[in-house]
Structure 1
Amino acid sequence: MKLLAILPALLPLVAAHFNVEAPPTRGGSEDTQPMFPCGGPTEPSRERVKIPLDDPKLAIAMEMGHDQAAVQVLLGLGSNPGSNFNISVVKTFRQVGLGAFCLPEVSFSEDVVGFKPKDGMEATIQVLSNGDPKGGLFHCIDAVYTMSARYVKPESCKNGTGVEAMPFSGEAANRNANESTPNGQPQGGSSGGSGGSGGSGGQSPSPTGNAAPLQTAAVWGVLGAAVAGGVALL
């Protein structure tokens, strides 16, 4: 009987995970997800996700294991950018609700990323979710811009019952998700917002460059209805 009484209390701990369901990621495990960068894997995927050059956007489908989290999408250029994820594609925002959650049209166009994409240009997308006082969880998607691709929303791009998302403003939006609480406040504790508990990850750098705030503001202009106000439309 005592065991049965304890089990409900353990369920939130078991469910406290974060996965990117689509596009395919580098991989990793729940043990390595707190490690910056990319949740552990250091080598890029052999098969890269194709970003359509004529309409540069992707849907990012996730499975959320915290009932609330700060979420952010970053971009690093090159075949393997290491820890140089210095382009903020989607500013840090608040996500609420367990289960399926999707950003249906994340833009990687010139006005967002700050450069003119070319056919064959390689990059890596990093998705951060932080619903834990010890720091965030990371996934990386290796990608390539190409003329041969077209945007397709995957079947996994949907939102669970009660799932909501809303943008932060001011300093909260510009703060790295790995250093933010789900409410947009600076994350406290001895870890200082570093990637992972027990010092396993190292601190994730804030995106640099003067254009970063303008880039992400453009994203919310395009995605605001789909993410913050129109989640139920998926």
Structure 2
Amino acid sequence: MRFFTAFTLTALFAVVSAHFQLQFPPPRGAFVEDQEPNFCDGYDSVASNRTSFPLNNGIISLNSEHPQWTAAVFITNVSNPTSFDNFTQITPFFQENIEGSFCMAFDLSQTNATGLTNGENVTIQFLFDGGDGQLFQCADLTLDTSANVSSQSCTNATSSSSSGAIGTPVPAVGSLLGLTAGLVGVAFALL
């Protein structure tokens, strides 16, 4: 019984410490595991080298270390955003059942973002919640109608819900937090 309990706790803590890494567009800086819960993964300044990103037919790709997760994308045209308040949500929250490589179509012209223009500098912030809390990464972009992301790999690991576009909408981030907390409570009760 103690072996089972120890194994269960180890598995739960492995889930709790899992993360994600934004692949494209490239994030502001190198992945820093301990900074993910912070604004823009702890990178408070805009990258000096913004990525050219199309207004139409863009993609977002990431690596998920969670088998199920919820996410949303936010945007700002503030030249040097310093807080969450600078951002506006431009996708509904969506849920995916995929661990590993994930890629989705991200057509800015099809989001609720308004007034975006060719040559404009923007920052997107990707919110990711795999059940262990909200994690954030930012990418600094220059919108370019001639930018072509077809050279970027857009593949998904095996998934039951992913179709290459934004996945299943969900009402809010954090619904998995209660499940994880409940499982941890049960495991401790077994000790």
Range into which the TM-score falls when normalised by the shorter chain: 0.7 to 0.9
1-structure distance, mates of 2:59, 2:101: 13
**Offset at 1:92?**
0.3
How is 1:5-24 mapped onto 2 (pairs within 5 angstroms)?
A: 9-10=10-11, 12-13=14-15, 16-24=18-26
Larger Rg computed on CA atoms: 2
For the 8 Å contact 1:44–1:80, the answer to whether it is kept is yes
Which residue does 1:31 correspond to in 2?
A: 34
Normalized against structure 1, the TM-score is what? 0.62
1-structure distance, mates of 2:181, 2:87: 23
2-structure distance, mates of 1:123, 1:57: 17
**Offset at 1:151?**
3.8
**Offset at 1:108?**
1.5
Which residue does 1:211 correspond to in 2?
A: none
For the 8 Å contact 1:81–1:123, the answer to whether it is kept is no
1:66 aligns with 2:69: no
2-structure distance, mates of 1:130, 1:141: 18
- Which range is displaced more, 37-46 or 8-17? 8-17
2-structure distance, mates of 1:163, 1:15: 24
Q: 1:142 to 1:163 in 2, by over 3 A?
A: farther
Q: Which runs of 5+ in 1 are unaligned?
A: 190-234
For the 8 Å contact 1:39–1:137, the answer to whether it is kept is yes
Structure 1 runs, 4 residues or longer, greater than 4 Å off:
5-8
For the 8 Å contact 2:91–2:111, the answer to whether it is kept is no
Q: 1:90 to 1:78 in 2, by over 3 A?
A: same
For the 8 Å contact 1:71–1:93, the answer to whether it is kept is yes
Normalized against structure 2, the TM-score is what? 0.74
Q: 1:101 to 1:108 in 2, by over 3 A?
A: same
For the 8 Å contact 1:48–1:142, the answer to whether it is kept is yes
**Offset at 1:128?**
1.0
**Offset at 1:87?**
2.3
- Which range is displaced more, 119-128 or 8-17? 8-17
> What do residues 113-146 of structure 1 show as CA deviations (whole Å, max 9, x unaligned)?
122x22321110011110134x211110000112
**Offset at 1:168?**
2.4
Q: Which runs of 5+ in 2 are unaligned?
A: 183-191
Query: Percent identity at matched positions?
Result: 27
> What do residues 13-48 of structure 1 show as CA deviations (whole Å, max 9, x unaligned)?
48711101111101240110011x211100111111
1-structure distance, mates of 2:15, 2:48: 33
In structure 1, which of residues 134, 140, 143 is the aligned counterpart of residue 141 of structure 2? 143
Instruction: State how many pairs are aligned.
Output: 170
